[in-house]
Amino acid sequence: MNAEDIRANHYARLNDYRNTREYAEWYRSISGEPPAGERPSLLGQRWEIDEAIYDEFLNMMPPLHWRGGSFYCMEECFDDYHAKFSREGGQYFCEYARLPRPAGPALEL
């Protein structure tokens, strides 16, 4: 795939979250009724991107939970689902993931 095809695939995948099981469940929880039909899970689907897309999203907003080449996009898609970007050697990936919750109790201010 060339860079243009990778970019087109990436944005199509990013915008396809509305056709997933998790989005339908969330939509129902806010009193909506999504269209009927089976939907694939949003989680566990990962696609390859290129370094330019990775860098673009890294520099778009401050990253969340930056760890060893992986980060979450600051802006959530819905609920606590975020786009997660990762670098593994010379390859780059994107997927949707739930934002990790802090292990300890919340701090009171």
Query: Residue 85: is its pLDDT beyond 60?
Result: yes
Per-position b or e across 25-60, b if 16+ CB within 10 A of its CB: ebbeeeeeeeeeeebeebeeeeeebbeebbeebbee
Domain-embedded: residue 107:
no
Domain-embedded: residue 56:
yes
Domain-embedded: residue 15:
yes
Domain-embedded: residue 91:
yes
Average pLDDT along the chain:
88
Domain-embedded: residue 94:
yes
Number of domains in the chain: 1
> What CA–CA distance (Å, rounded) separates 43 from 39?
12
pLDDT tens by residue, 38-59: 889 999 889 999 999 999 999 9
Rounded to two decimals, the pTM is 0.81
